[in-house]
Amino acid sequence: MARVTTPPIDPLLRDRRSPSVFDPTHTLDDSQLASLLEAARWSPSWGNTQPWRFLVGRRGDASHARIVAALSRGNRQWAPAASAILIGLRQVGAEPDDPKGGLRTYDYTAYDLGQSAAHLSVQAVSMGLAVHQFGGFDHDAIAAGFAVPPQWEVLSGIAVGRWLPSAERTTDSPDVDQANVEREERPRKRRPLDQLAFAERFGEPLRVGHGE
């Protein structure tokens, strides 16, 4: 999946992508899963509040089955083949036993969960794995099924596994849906830098010699 970006960026970021075809035979062992979570754990957060938690299911276990049952129809096509699916939660209220009565603000808790998931994703790339995040699942069913307390909001789905390269796919494999193959092969697109970074005023392109 190597590619070139101009300007250059680190290969871990450059080669990261969100695959839709995972290797349905790959499994994550304890030490791999621990490293992924350790990366999430050391992510920065507002005032070091660490307002993130993760529900974790590995293919074959009860948590995984419960997560798969809550997936949207589209995500049920590809996500179960990943080795694990995590659900990211963000804090939205005080813990009942918190003497401080909760955080001073919850404005940064989704932001910080996003950072934590990003660190997990970069760690996955460094281990030869890939992450595909998604929002399409029954959030209420997850909250009920895992007894998530009301001060935690179910936010994101995070599928982790080994990308299945085209050469290893068989056309009659039930795990390789053609729509997912096409989705993967679409060129990755992003808004150009000069529509993203501004100086002086919103909308005024920052000049760094790489406007497109």
Site string for a copy of itself, 50-69 (x = CB under 8 A): x-xxxxxx---xxx------
> Is 2 among the residues that bind a copy of itself (CB under 8 A)?
no
Total binding residues toward a copy of itself, as defined by CB under 8 A:
82
**Which of the residues 165 through 184 are near a copy of itself (CB under 8 A)?**
none
> Is 92 among the residues that bind a copy of itself (CB under 8 A)?
no
Strands 84-91 and 152-161: antiparallel
Q: Mapping DSSP to helix (H, G, I), strand (E, B) and coil, where does residue 48 land?
A: helix
Which contiguous run of DSSP H or E holds residue 3? Answer: none
Q: Of the candidates 24, 76, 146, 175, which one interacts with a copy of itself according to CB under 8 A?
A: 146
Q: Of the candidates 20, 22, 43, 59, which one interacts with a copy of itself according to CB under 8 A?
A: 43
Site string for a copy of itself, 95-134 (x = CB under 8 A): ----------x-xx-xxxxxx-xxx-xxx--x------x-
Residue 19 Cβ, how far from a copy of itself at the closest point, in Å?
11
Answer for the pair 75, 136: CB distance below 8 angstroms, yes or no.
yes
Q: Of the candidates 25, 140, 168, 198, which one interacts with a copy of itself according to CB under 8 A?
A: 198
**Which of the residues 16 through 35 are near a copy of itself (CB under 8 A)?**
16, 18, 30-31, 33-35
Residue 79 in tokens: 């996500």
**Among 174, 208, 211, 209, CA closest to 193:** 211
Spatial separation of the C-alpha atoms in residues 197 and 199, rounded to whole Å:
7
Q: 187: which DSSP letter?
A: P
Helix axes 109-126, 30-41, angle to 10 degrees: 140
> Is 161 among the residues that bind a copy of itself (CB under 8 A)?
no
